[in-house]
Amino acid sequence: MGLNVVAVDVGGTFTDVVYVKEDGSIGCLKVLTNPRKPELAIYKGLEMCGLKPRVLIHASTLATNLIRGQVGLEIPKIALITTRGFRDIIEIGRQNRPKLYDPFFEKPKPLVPREYRFEVTERIDYTGRIVEPLNLREVEDIGVKLKDNGIESVAIVFLHSYINSIHEEMAGDIIKKYVKYVSLSSKVSSEPREYERTSTTVINALLKPVVSRYLSSLKKEVSPLGVEEIYIMSSVGGLIDIEEAVERPVQIIESGPAAGIVATAVFARELGLTRVVGFDMGGTTAKAGSVIDFNPTIVSEYEVGGEVHHGRVIKGSGYPIRFPFIDLAEVSAGGGTIIWRDYEGALHVGPMSAGSEPGPACYGLGGVNPTITDANLVLGRIGLKLANGLIILNYDLAEKSLSKLGNPVEVAYEALQLVNLEMARAVRLVTIERGLNPEEFVLIAYGGAGPQHAVFIAEEIGIKTVIIPPHPGLFSAMGLLLADWKFEARKAYPANLEDSFRELEEHLINKVGDVDYFIRYADVRYVGQGWELTVPVGTPTDTFEVKRVFEEKHYSTFGFKLDRDIEITLIRVFAVKINKSKPKLGAVNKEPRRVERLETRKVFFDEWIETPVYNRDDLFVGFTIEGPAIIEEYSSCTVIPPGWVMEVGGIGELVLKRL
């Protein structure tokens, strides 16, 4: 692999660069993210490392930030063309109230203003039969209006186009003469449920111009360094090329968090762990996702831009996307999360974050609000240097910011307890609320701040073993190097299950060339149910086995099953091309030797305790220490409290267990 491939993960605070050196070891660098021009931070990171890679693998939060309305991102002007009578479907939605007893609740603002939602005469029924032909003259007239109004991107969504897409394709060919970016629902989300399909296609249309410009700018920025190919991490955990990302940008919304869960799955396989929770705490947010039998849990629908309550997305408060995603719970809890008091004097943590600009008060970059990083510094749980001196922390500024809320030590300790409770809820969401027992899982913690909090979260939810992987603060970027290429195809209401799966597989082979293996999924429900569960499907397909797997999942999710037939509303296939350039995971120090402390400093747990501090690079396989102890390294810092013991594992992982 060498220096030909470099992975870059752009986070809210840091941009991480990871590559494999010629001697096989991992090289890495952190630089501060430029939130307005993230490609500049990427170029800076590559240049500082002296890298001229041929292939760049990239994860980004650009799509999520656009939907959330981040300052600095220009919202494109978009339109919707739909079947006559369905102009207002994205505004009507599902009529479910996220806040049942709140008379002041307002539904999310439609992404397309009503004056830019157009109807055309056409109709295809649920069997795919053309009931009324498409009126081509109406489509031409709409095209002229779009051009006159400066519309940049258009979503075309016709009724039942997932069965027969001919009308959408005809309309798309006409509209492309007037508008640069066109998204067809039959190409973006070819499945039933007109509201969700419309919402997904509209979001795709919204993202298309922005993602296209960003990737074009990124390519231009890094081309002088020798980059010839760029691949993007998709929300389902596979790598896709630029063309696919531009055509269907809706699939890269959870690009960054997915990379961490991919790395978790690979790491779990390496260690032989069949049930793990990946926990990622960075500078802005914390994410959790479960991995069972080395496979991340997948969901078929996700909601973006809405309200989140303790990691749980409030259904109906945002914009639904019908596309496969790795199942993640996310909370506003990171190193930069702001600590504050309300009018009654109660202490709160988040959801606001100091980000990278100006950052926590201790960064000395102009931030004045106390954050979780300031709290960890005041309690002695982190040292004065981050990333080998990339940032020198200022203890006095941290203490001063916390003092505005009361006694700095008391405020810091209470704030960490609150944030740990919040992050524990995210882990519960991907275990208990999915019918899984967290006590059967191992917590794999990463991100710059994850190892500082992992043990306390484990104590909160009953997990007995915590593992800190090598390079935890760069683990998501490492996931990009470990990921396989993954492409998806789907079909609604298959007549013959096995034939339909094979048809999708042949389509993917024609699209991407040689494929190493396929993964099959089906959306299944009991006849008469309104919603489905996504279950894995074996090869060749056995309908009785599909029902058995569905009923097991239905029982673990809802606590009951029915004596009723099932129906399959959608099948999807992932074509996987194995990434043959994956770096090898392995320990560096295997010979026992004397390990010297870096220092001893006072660290506050329930009380102040003199605590030894070690450099992780000095440790060897089998090295064991009982808490309290601090393990520092380039990208993070691991806190081992009293009552826990740490041992270095066979590939350099830190294994923490309760005494």
Claim to verify: residue 624 and residue 603 sit in the same structural domain: yes
* CATH number of the domain encompassing residue 474: 3.30.420
Weakest mean pLDDT among 166-180, 407-421, 480-494, 495-509: 480-494
What per-residue confidence (pLDDT) applies to 327?
86
422 shares its domain with 303: yes
The Cα–Cα gap between 542 and 527 comes to 18
Q: Collapsing DSSP states into helix, strand and coil, what is residue 353?
A: strand
- Which helix (H) or strand (E) segment holds residue 270: the answer is helix 255-271
Share of the chain above pLDDT 90, in %: 41
Encoding tokens for residue 587?
């320990």
Q: How many CB atoms lie within 10 A of CB 410?
A: 13
Q: What pLDDT, on a 0 to 100 scale, did the predictor assign at position 495?
A: 82
Q: Is the domain of 133 the same as that of 223?
A: no
pLDDT in tens, 207-249: 999 889 888 988 998 888 888 888 888 888 888 888 888 999 9
What residues contact 21, with CB distance under 8 A and at least 6 apart? 2, 3, 27
pLDDT of residue 619: 92
Measure the CA–CA gap between 137 and 158, rounded to whole angstroms.
17
Banded model confidence at residue 625, pLDDT cuts 50, 70, 90:
very high
* Domain containing residue 221: CATH number: 3.30.420.40
**Do 395 and 502 belong together in one domain?**
no
Is 584 inside a domain boundary? no
Averaged confidence pLDDT in the chain: 87
Tell whether 237 and 360 lie within a shared domain: no
Domain end, chosen from 169, 186, 206, is at: 206
* Residue 1: predicted pLDDT: 40
582 part of a folded domain = no
Q: What is the DSSP letter of 365?
A: S
Please provide the DSSP assignment of 273-328 as one string. -SEEEEEEE-SS-EEEEEEETTEE-EEEEEEESS-EETTEE-TTSSEEEEEEEE--
Q: Residue 30 — very low, low, confident or very high, per pLDDT cuts 50/70/90?
A: confident
Q: Are residues 397 and 471 in the same domain?
A: no
The candidate with the shortest Cα–Cα distance to 81, out of 117, 134, 135, is 117
Dump pLDDT digits (tens) for 313-335. 656 667 888 888 888 888 878 88
506 shares a domain with 400 = no
* Domain shared by 499 and 573, yes or no: yes
Same domain for 234 and 221?
Answer: yes
Domain range for 535 is 485-577
pLDDT tens for residues 402-419? 999 999 999 999 999 999
- Separation in Å, CA 600 to CA 468, 513, 628, 653, 654: 22, 57, 11, 23, 20
Higher pLDDT, residue 283 or 91: 91
Q: Residue 170 half-sphere exposure, CB side, CA atoms within 13 Å?
A: 16
Give the pLDDT band of residue 131 (cuts 50, 70, 90). Answer: very high
Domain assignment present for residue 475? The answer is: yes
pLDDT of residue 72: 47
146 lies in a domain? yes
Let me know: does 454 contact 473? Beta carbons within 8 Å.
no
- Considering the domain boundaries, does residue 412 fall inside one? no
Q: What average pLDDT does the segment 543-567 reach?
A: 89
- Give the pLDDT band of residue 309 (cuts 50, 70, 90): low
Query: Burial level of 177, CB count in 10 A (0-12/13-18/19+)?
Result: exposed
In this prediction, residue 312 has a pLDDT band, given cuts at 50, 70 and 90, of low
100 vs 544, more confident: 544
Compute the average pLDDT of residues 183-196. Answer: 89
Considering the domain boundaries, does residue 583 fall inside one? no
The predicted model gives 358-365 an average pLDDT of: 87
Instruction: Answer whether residue 624 shows pLDDT above 90.
Output: yes
- Contact status, residue 339 vs residue 410, Cβ threshold 8 Å: no
CA distance 508 to 558: 34
Q: Across 545-648, where does the E strand assignment appear?
A: 566-577, 599-604, 608-615, 624-626, 629-632, 637-640, 644-648
Mean pLDDT computed over 280-289: 86
Of 544, 577, 610, the last residue of a domain is 577
Whether the per-residue pLDDT at 3 is higher than 80: the answer is no
What's the pLDDT at 384?
Answer: 84
Higher-confidence position of 400 and 315: 400
Q: Could you tell me if residue 545 is inside a domain?
A: yes
Decide if 603 is inside a domain: yes
425 and 382 housed in the same domain: no
* Overall average pLDDT of the 639-652 stretch: 93
What is the domain count for the chain? Answer: 6
Of residues 417 and 32, more confidently modeled: 417
393 & 510 share domain: no
Q: Is 557 left (phi over 0), alpha (psi -120 to 50) or beta?
A: alpha
Residue 535 sits in the same domain as residue 623: no
Q: What is the pLDDT of residues 57-97, one digit of tens each?
A: 888 777 766 665 544 456 789 999 999 999 999 888 877 76
Last residue of a domain, one of 382, 404, 426: 404
**487, pLDDT greater than 90:** no
Instruction: Tell me, rounded to whole angstroms, the distance of Cα 530 from its chain centroid.
Output: 27
Nearest of 336, 488, 329, 395 to residue 13 by alpha carbon: 336
Nearest-CA neighbor of 624 among 657, 648, 607, 600? 648
Q: Does the reported pTM lie above 0.75?
A: yes
pLDDT band at 2 (very low <50, low <70, confident <90, very high): very low
